[in-house]
């Protein structure tokens, strides 16, 4: 794609000209074609002298005064686009084909240009009928933002897993509506697994609040979520039941590694494709109990229940 000479390049041209360099040598130094340098000197030199600042001003004025010719106002491009639309080609396919067949960027059009033209053309209704994808939809509701302190602000006591009550949170979703909200204590690996009927932020926050409110205050201190929209209202948990909210960095699930590992264990019972609306709350609670009563090597083969609640270990099978 052609690009205009910059002020820095024009300054370099002026310096090389003063040193007596030939146009070919200047072109090689700037990694430009000789025709570009020739055209620049012909258009923007004054009385045989080339001054960078003056050349830059001349070029900018020429571009500003140049009449604007929109791509889709060019008969050849518009005719090509119309013919392709009649064959049910998408704007992406038309734009891609133009780039393949035409070397001159001035005779091509981007898919966004074509979509914009369709929206304003007097035959807009006709063109829309042949499109599968109507372009990016406007007026979408803004993506809700999860509010909380960055994970970098978490105190060291949380990083060291030296106390109970610091949870990591996430969701497990299936096709359609429904899923699970999961909270895992960093120290004890104690898991809270909650069935959710939707991933709307209000619903997820309410379900998590109900379960955390049943946990002793000394064992509910903080929760670290990711930036998922389902957690957008979980900042309310800081008021009631009173936990500090932290947010992991986007794209870094290892910062909630305890939760990620637990979700993998839950997938043993509910593999991908599970329709959670068909799963009962009792079934979910059973999986939670199985996980919390399973001895863990990282806990010295104690169970999460024993560590979280301080219970003594008993052999549960013979």
Residue-range domain boundaries for the chain:
7-65, 71-129, 149-309
Q: What is the pLDDT, as a whole number, of residue 116?
A: 84
Q: What is the pLDDT, as a whole number, of residue 73?
A: 81
Q: What is the pLDDT, as a whole number, of residue 222?
A: 97
Q: What is the pLDDT, as a whole number, of residue 138?
A: 45
pTM of the model: 0.57
d(CA 148, CA 156) in angstroms, rounded, equals: 17
d(CA 148, CA 291) in angstroms, rounded, equals: 29
d(CA 143, CA 232) in angstroms, rounded, equals: 9
Q: What is the pLDDT, as a whole number, of residue 1?
A: 42
- Kindly give the parts of the chain with pLDDT less than 70: 1-3, 65-69, 133-146, 312-318
**Assigned CATH for 149-309:** 3.30.420.10
């Amino acid at each position: 794609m052609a690009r205009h000479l910059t002020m820095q390049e024009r300054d370099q041209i002026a310096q090389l000209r003063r040193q007596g360099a030939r146009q070919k040598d200047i072109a090689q130094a700037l990694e430009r074609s000789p025709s570009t340098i020739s055209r620049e000197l012909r258009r923007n030199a004054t009385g045989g002298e080339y001054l960078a600042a003056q050349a830059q001003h001349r070029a900018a004025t020429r571009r500003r005064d140049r009449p604007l010719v929109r791509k889709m106002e060019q008969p050849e491009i518009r005719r090509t686009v119309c013919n392709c639309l009649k064959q049910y080609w998408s704007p992406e396919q038309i734009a891609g084909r133009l780039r393949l067949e035409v070397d001159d960027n001035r005779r091509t059009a981007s898919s966004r240009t074509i979509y914009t033209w369709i929206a304003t053309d007097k035959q807009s209704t006709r063109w829309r009928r042949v499109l599968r994808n109507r372009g990016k939809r406007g007026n979408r509701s803004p993506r809700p933002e999860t509010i909380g302190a960055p994970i970098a602000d978490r105190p060291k006591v949380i990083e060291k897993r030296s106390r109970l009550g610091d949870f990591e949170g996430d969701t497990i979703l299936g096709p359609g509506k429904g899923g699970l909200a999961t909270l895992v204590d960093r120290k004890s690996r104690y898991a809270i697994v909650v069935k959710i009927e939707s991933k709307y932020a209000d619903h997820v926050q309410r379900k998590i609040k109900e379960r955390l409110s049943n946990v002793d205050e000394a064992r509910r201190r903080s929760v670290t979520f990711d930036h998922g929209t389902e957690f957008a209202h979980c900042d309310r948990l800081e008021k009631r039941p009173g936990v500090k909210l932290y947010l992991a960095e986007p794209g870094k699930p290892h910062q909630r590694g305890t939760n990620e590992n637990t979700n993998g264990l839950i997938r043993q019972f509910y593999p991908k494709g599970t329709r959670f609306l068909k799963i009962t709350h009792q079934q979910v609670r059973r999986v939670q109990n199985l996980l919390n009563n399973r001895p863990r090597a990282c806990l010295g083969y104690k169970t999460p229940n024993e560590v979280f609640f301080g219970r003594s270990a008993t052999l549960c099978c013979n």
